[in-house]
Amino acid sequence: MAGHEILLGVCGGVAAYKSADLVSQLVKQAHCVSVVMTRSAGEFIGPATFEALTNRPVYRDLFSPREHFLGEHIGLARRADLFLIAPATANVIGKLANGIADDLLTTLALAATCPVLVAPAMNVEMWEKPAVQRNIQQLEADGIQIIPPGEGWLSCGVTGKGRMAEPAELLKVIEQLVG
């Protein structure tokens, strides 16, 4: 199994650093990876890391396309075999559950025809909020696969549920789907 087009959406959470490891592992498996970052994601990890790992531009802007001038959301969506959003913030999860498309990443989620997977990452208080749980249920009802967060040490200094699934687990799920 090799050589699929993986679209990776990276949102603004501390776990964004783990996505660099995931990209590295995907590229080692001969997959082609396109990384889309939200504006907030840029506060946590720089595009240069993903550009070097993928040998592609990082896509961040709806209106200043790097590659697809018919609309980056159209071109990237057409090319993708699978769209994984990892880490997915509470904010993006809320937007996806409500069909909001106010940046490239969320517009792509609506334009995508491939399987869409979401790997949430947030602190335990956010994860347990009724609004977040409601949005997760809505995404599942809409056919989006949730890769649930694990329990353990959180960057806010407490132990609880909210850790993004580890890159090895994400890789396994991706391989099961595109393999």
Ligand X SMILES: Cc1cc2nc3c(=O)[nH]c(=O)nc-3n(C[C@H](O)[C@H](O)[C@H](O)COP(=O)(O)O)c2cc1C
Residues lying near ligand X in the complex (CB under 6 A) are found at: 11-15, 38, 40-41, 89-92, 121-122, 126
116 touches 139 (CB < 8 A): no
Preceding peptide of 87 cis, ω within 30° = yes
Q: Report the C-alpha gap between 21 and 7 in whole angstroms.
A: 15
Token pair 């335990």 is found at: 124
In the annotation, is 114 catalytic? Answer: no
How far apart CA 5 and CA 75 sit, in angstroms, is: 12
Quote the tokens at residue 133.
Answer: 């749980």
Q: Which residue is nearest to ligand X (CB)?
A: 13
Are the beta carbons of 1 and 172 closer than 8 angstroms? Answer: no
CA distance 77 to 87: 19
> Closest distance between ligand X and the C-beta of residue 28, in Å?
26
Catalytic machinery residues? 156
